[in-house]
Amino acid sequence: MKFRFIQGSKFNLLIQMALNKKLTRTRIVLILFGTLFLAAFASLIGLSTFFYDSYQYPDEFSIVVDAGSSGSRTYIYSWQGGLSAYKGDDIRVKELFNCKRTPGINALRTKEDVILYFNDCLQEASKFIPNQRKNRTHIILAATAGMRLLNITDKNQSDKILSYIRYHFSKSGFLYKSDDQVKIIDGKDEGLYAWISANYFSEKFSKDTDPITTWGTLDLGAYIIIQNDYTQQVNASCLYSKLALNVSTSTLLNSPCSNGDIFKFNPNIDLEKLKKKSYYIFDGESNPEKCQQELEFLFPEPACDFDKKCSFNNVYQPELISKNKFYAFSSYYYQMVNSEKLAGKILKNDFELYSSETKRLCSLDYNEITSINNKLKPMILDEYLRTTCFYNLYIMKLLSKFQITSFANVEIIDKINDYSIGWTLGYMIDLINRQDFLPEETPPRKIETKFYIPLLIHLAHQKILNRRILEEIT
């Protein structure tokens, strides 16, 4: 029997080999069927593997709430799914949204307060997160200064607030695995996470960047501490003259900033005498020189275990060199903005000008500073205006303790590359780097419709070819 070969058929070689070995017709047919089946199966496996390897994981999301003393800000971050920082993948995190609520959570009292406080921001956040990803979206809250203080003065109330928030978050529909997702963080961690955030946003952690080029960060919150001479009418050099503040004795004595938990009272002050008055009136003096002298009390020469190389609180202070650069944000930024408005000048690039303008503004009385403020659009809120003098003199003193007397290497900002600076991103990046942050996600082993069509065409072609070969054989 003679066989005519189909011109260009990819099975010519196989058939020729079969004829050379003088195989029976049945064996040839079986070989052809087996080969065609294996080819089709290999095609199917190849396409499935291609789909599996090229599967685009949906984005991951995380909600982080920065619960500060004056308010809370809710952030949504996202990054490409299927990556693991723990395994060394290069993860790029984006900020999608942020939402602010006031006051701080330390002012909340009931479960209903908590629900009303968070609902608006969480509802807005939900719009950015696909429904099928919500059960993989961590919801995290870390509280800072306000709750740290409340935890000292009224731990029972602090614990209640946290428990209400934990319960609310556990019912939110987002991923809530542990009560550790709602907690108070200490100042050291807050500073570290802010440093991570700032350098991440400025791309100082990229693979091509020398680690020595990372920038330091300066973050600030502050409280007014005023010494007392036991009379109900107290002169306050750090406040504007013609400004009087009423402060209750309980506020003075129970504040962690004045009862020894953070700063210590001047040992010459008799606390029992202070308690004899129910409140005190602090009369401003508009005396920046005297205020600077009194601020020395907040920064006494510390005991230092590092050959006098300490800033304060026995913390080692390395010598700064020209390469050391800093981002200054939070109160550094907001106080600078207010000072520039009142001075009508750009101050953030010139430390000496900032210093001289601060002293000039602090020498004005409250009526004069209010008159300037009334012409501003928008105006500075009075609660911030009346403490502007103290804050800026405090900042000057604080920077000097860090050996910073120039703004040449300091950028006073609130955003980097359009991202808000704060500790929240650094906190979340730390969590992402943990192995158990998210359960591993396995992509579905399926072939989408767009892959089925070429596969079916291929199999149909194989079937037609198979029939033609059989016709030739028979």
Active site residues per annotation: 190
Rounded to whole angstroms, the Cα distance separating 167 from 250 reads 32
Q: How far is CA 54 from CA 16, 79, 440, in A?
A: 39, 18, 17
Pair type for strands 410-412 and 415-416: unpaired
| Cα distance between residue 201 and residue 325, in whole Å | 15
The dihedral through the CA atoms of 383, 69, 139, 86 has a sign that is positive
* Count of all residues that appear for the chain in the document: 474
CB count within 10 Å of CB 256 equals 17
Cβ of 231: how many Cβ atoms within 10 Å? 10
C-beta separation of 324 from 409 below 8 A: yes
Question: Quick one: the chain helix, strand, coil %, rounded to 5?
Answer: 45, 15, 40
Q: Which of 217, 210, 169, 215 is nearest to 190 (CA)?
A: 217
* Whole-angstrom distance, CA of residue 474 vs CA of residue 471: 5
C-alpha to C-alpha distance for 427 and 441, rounded to whole angstroms: 23
The whole-angstrom separation of Cα 259 and Cα 264 is 6
Through-space distance between the first and last CA atoms of the chain, rounded to whole angstroms: 9
Given a contact cutoff of 8 angstroms between Cβ atoms, the answer to whether 412 and 331 are in contact is no
DSSP label at 104? Answer: -
Tell me how far apart the alpha carbons of residues 339 and 365 are, in angstroms, rounded to a whole number.
Answer: 15
Q: Are 425 and 200 in contact (CB under 8 A)?
A: yes
Question: From CA 64, how far away is CA 402, in angstroms rounded?
Answer: 31
| Selection from 451, 463, 462 nearest residue 44 by Cα | 451
CA distances from 389 to 52, 141, 404 (A): 63, 33, 20
- The alpha carbon of 159 is separated from its chain's Cα centroid by a whole number of angstroms, namely 24
| 8 A C-beta contact, residue 55 and residue 31 | no
- Rounded Cα distance, 162 and 61, in Å: 23
